[in-house]
Amino acid sequence: MNEDRIEGTTKKVVGTVQEAIGGVTNDDQLDAKGKLNQAVGTVQDGYGKVRDKVKDLIDDATPAARDAVDTGRDYVRRGAAVVTRTTGDNTALILIAAGVVGAAIGWLAFGRRSKTDA
């Protein structure tokens, strides 16, 4: 929970109290101020919820990227094993194939970023 959610909730509570007191005392100005504070608090709390959600998405992106890299490494290992079985013990050909696969994965992972992502 971030400060916007805390402040927004506080404003909503204060606004509810102001509206109640304004209604009991027939103070239209305090009643209106309470309704305004509730509205402002609701918006601020909503903004805080969005901030929390974005932070959660960013925090989840790191493990997802790690999983993608691990999957890519697994494909490289599998591909190298298939090349080894297919070509026999031709080390140079295996290294070339692994380099091509690694370059392709690198291009897919990092080459497609726009200049604003860098």
Residue 64 is predicted with a pLDDT of 76
Q: Give this prediction's pTM.
A: 0.53
**77 or 31, which is more confident:** 31
The whole-number pLDDT of residue 91 equals 66
Other beta carbons within 10 Å of 97: 19
Average pLDDT score over residue span 71-94: 73
At 25-60, the pLDDT tens digits run: 999 999 999 998 899 999 889 888 988 888 888 787
Give every CB contact of residue 59 below 8 A, 6+ residues apart in sequence: none
Most confident residue range from 43-47, 75-79, 84-88, 112-116: 43-47
- pLDDT class for 112, splitting at 50, 70, 90? low
pLDDT value for 70: 83
Q: Tens digit of pLDDT for each residue in 3-28?
A: 988 998 999 999 999 999 999 999 99
Give the single-character DSSP code of 107: I
- What does the pLDDT read at residue 57? 80
Contact 97, 80 (CB under 8 A): yes
91-106 and 28-87 helices, crossing angle to 10°: 170
Closest CA to 55 of 99, 17, 1: 1
Q: What is the mean pLDDT of the chain?
A: 81
